[in-house]
Amino acid sequence: MPKETEPQRRLTARGAAMRGRLIEVAAALIYEKGASRTSLDDVLEKSGASKSQLYHYFADKDALILGVIRWQIERVLALQQPHLAQLDSLEALWRWRDAVLALATAAPGLRGCPLGSLANELAGRFENARSLLAGGFDRWREALEAGLGAMRARGELAGSANPRELALAILAALQGGLLLAKTAQTIEPLEAALEMALEHVARHATRKSARKGGAAAARSSPEPRRP
């Protein structure tokens, strides 16, 4: 199993900065070109690091890729804040949807989800990467599930609603929509997929939630500003 050779807790501030620089450069290159087409020489050239520095922090390319996956998981989840931590109403779900659309259109070329791209390339041939990515998607789903669970606990969703299944449906719609948007080079598939997923959640809303405005009020929020 590939391992990073130096535990982070032992790094000096300078060492942590260099390790972080290597990961960020590798992440950008892999997102642009794919892991298979990104070489360690590419990373060294772009980062300005030496081979001895790279191998001080990473045993090999696989270890660097695992570092990139960990970094991308934290980055993707952080970019959705504060919305991802506040998915406790239908209105909040639609605000999160607007934020996701804005993020998707911010990068030139609708390049898709960094985690989805890594999973598409690595899940079938690199078990450690697949396992790490699965854990990242689990954290994403759990954040969605926590919000939906809070809605059900307050009586805004029917007791028959299954927060885990609804969260999986939202995440699957998001990933599928991002892939089609990247392929078609239009945000339309992602908009349609997320709208259908959130309308599915809204069908589980109780009268209590409807009195607060329900899906119709939630959808009145302004569209995300296009970069």
Mean pLDDT, all residues of the chain: 89
Q: How far is CA 67 from CA 37, 51, 120, 141, 212, in A?
A: 17, 17, 17, 21, 44
**Long-range Cβ contacts of 28-32 (<8 Å, 24+ apart):** 30/65, 30/68, 30/118, 31/111, 31/114, 31/117, 32/111
Q: Residue 107: what are its φ and ψ, rounded to 5°?
A: -80, 135
CATH code of domain 8-70: 1.10.10.60
pLDDT tens for 57-114 read 999 999 999 999 999 999 999 999 999 999 989 999 999 999 999 999 987 778 899 9
Say what the pLDDT of residue 164 is: 98
Pick 81-218's CATH classification: 3.30.450.20, 1.10.357.10, 1.20.1250.20, 3.40.50.2000: 1.10.357.10
**Token digits for 154?**
């307050």
Instruction: Return the pLDDT at 29.
Output: 97
pLDDT in tens, 200-226: 999 999 976 654 444 444 454 434 433
- 9 has pLDDT over 90: no
Residue range 181-207: mean pLDDT, rounded = 95
Cis peptide before 82 (omega within 30 of 0): yes
What is the arithmetic mean of pLDDT over 11-31?
Answer: 94
Better-scored residue on pLDDT, 219 or 30: 30
Indicate the SS3 state at residue 124: coil
Domain boundaries, the chain: 8-70, 81-218
Which two tokens mark 153?
């606990």
Residues 59 and 22: their CA atoms lie apart, in Å, by 13
In the chain, pLDDT over 90 holds for what percent of residues? 81
The mean per-residue pLDDT over the stretch 137-155 comes to 97
pLDDT of residue 210: 52
Q: Which of 2-6, 135-139, 156-160 has the lowest mean pLDDT?
A: 2-6
What pLDDT does residue 109 have?
A: 79
| Model confidence band, residue 2 (pLDDT cutoffs 50, 70, 90) | very low
For residue 57, the one-letter residue type is Y
Q: Can you read off the two tokens belonging to residue 60?
A: 């090999």
Check if the beta carbon of residue 35 is closer than 8 Å to that of residue 65. yes
Do 150 and 84 form a contact (C-beta atoms < 8 A)? no
pLDDT for 6 beyond 70: no
